Amino acid sequence: MTLREEQRRALLTVDLAAVTANTGVFRARTRAELMAVVKADGFGHGAVDVAHSALAGGASRLGVTSIDEALELRAAGLTAPVLSWLNPVDADWEAALRADVELAVPGAGHLARITAAARASGRCAAVHLHADVGMARDGAEPAAWEPLCAAAREAERQGVVDVVGVMGHLGCADSPEDTHNRAGRLRFLDAVSAARRQGLHPRHRHLAATAATLTDPSSHFDLCRIGAGLIGIDPSGSARLRPALTLTAPVVSVRDVPAGTPVGYGHTHTTAYRTRLALIPAGYADGVPRSVAGRAWVQVRGRRCPVVGRVSMDQTVVDVGADPVAPGEVVTLFGPGLDGEPTAADWARWAGTIEHEIVTGIGSRVGRRVALGTRPQAVPVYA
């Protein structure tokens, strides 16, 4: 894609300096190691770039969900320890072991497949036993935990497994006073104690993610997993982090319309006065939530301009009022908010969701530029 083509479509700019700075915030909040969680393509920011930036900021380990995500990091030359924790029972365990990827084990079926892959490959599998501490989601149920630990210890005796960690996840950490957090911590401590009773000696105990790392030192243990916080999202609302994304789009056309002009599908908006409408080439296929019409605004020429009519798959209409906006001018949908532009948090509020969904929902048609400074004019790097 040429620069001229880039200027015809939406553009996502990733500020990697923000990722490094945010990692430093977490580094200052805990004595535990930091695992940079770069799942879902680094929360839509580019997994490899986010990983490098987080490691530069003080993280020492990396975390992903799938083995494919882990292999992408290895293919990019990243050598830091990588943990993959959400895979089907028939995943390509041998490929993970060949790439020196650590694996989470949520149950006996997974352990059996991983030990078989270790024997077949001649490699010892470094595993983290995953305990469900109250979310009824991933991880071994309490009744299955001790048998899992016993089986893992037997696999250790056979030399095919090394239980290097025990992990869990808190479901209410973004609300520090919620009593479920204390219950989850106690269940996690019970899980670690049970593992030790079976003769296991996990070196990495990890329960805290972004919110708990910021608000609950008692949950830090040996390792904290930071995901959304790397890219500037704080679910707890307790820290000043730097959002790392800016989404812009060019105006592709403008039209002056009289009062009473219906706009978009279903004519859900009708102009109340003579005005100018600007069309931008980004819609719900590009990550602009369809539900925001009537609430959202964007920044044009430093001014707030409302989104009007229904958001379409490929395009969105903005009312720019009397401003002489012309095709080619840049519209900022969201950014860090440093210059008064909307933020991903604003879009999440308008859409009735969370920032995570906004930043990970950007479509593949959107151009991507990696910026190494706070607000640079960087040479474009295209995905």
Residues identified as active-site: 39, 265
Angle at 52 between CA 46 and CA 53, to 5 degrees: 85
Question: Which secondary-structure segment (H or E) carries 359?
Answer: helix 355-360
CA–CA gap between residue 68 and residue 75 (Å, rounded): 10
CA–CA gap between residue 46 and residue 13 (Å, rounded): 11
CA–CA gap between residue 207 and residue 135 (Å, rounded): 13
Evaluate whether 144 touches 182 at the Cβ level (below 8 Å): no
Per-residue tokens: 70: 């882990």
Evaluate whether 231 touches 50 at the Cβ level (below 8 Å): yes
CA dihedral over 367, 369, 374, 375, signed as positive or negative: negative
CA 136 remoteness from chain centre: 22
CA–CA gap between residue 56 and residue 27 (Å, rounded): 11
